[in-house]
Structure 1
Amino acid sequence: MKTSLEIKTHQLKLQTRYKQLIEQAYNVRQTDHALSDISEYKAIKLLNKLNRLKYLHRDITPKALN
């Protein structure tokens, strides 16, 4: 099982890649529609991975029992 630090590092790498893909999709939107769509599709898939990772790695704090 991965440590918390490894998971956080992987999450940061994925976020950086996501931002690059979104920026690329935006920059080529007017000149190359196909490349823009491909970049946006890859970014959406990456965002889905990020959301799953965030869900699995969420901090679950025990609730106080009354």
Structure 2
Amino acid sequence: MNRIDEINTRQDQLNKQYKILVEQAYNFRQTDSALSDISEYRAIKLLNKLNRLKYLYREQNKSAV
């Protein structure tokens, strides 16, 4: 498996986790605002990781071409 495939696989995993956390944050908003904030914070951290992976993917694609 080359580097680009590894990055894509990791992006897919993080995207799934991000969607779950955002949904949890939304669902907890009405019942427990603290849990909602925690889920939202974790989702933001995952989004930051996703953005870094997108940057790596872009750099890997440039060097592959």
Report 1 or 2 for greater relative contact order, CA contacts < 8 Å, sequence distance ≥ 6: 2
| Structure whose CA Rg is larger | 1
Per-residue CA deviation, residues 6-57 of structure 1 (Å, 9 max, x unaligned), is 1100110000000000000001101000000000000000000000110111
> Which 4+ runs in 1 deviate beyond 2 A?
none
Q: Which has the higher helix share?
A: 2
How many residues align? The count is 60
- Report % sequence identity: 67
Instruction: Give unpaired runs (5+ residues) of structure 1.
Output: 62-66
State the TM-score, normalized to the length of structure 2: 0.85
Instruction: Give unpaired runs (5+ residues) of structure 2.
Output: none
State the TM-score, normalized to the length of structure 1: 0.84
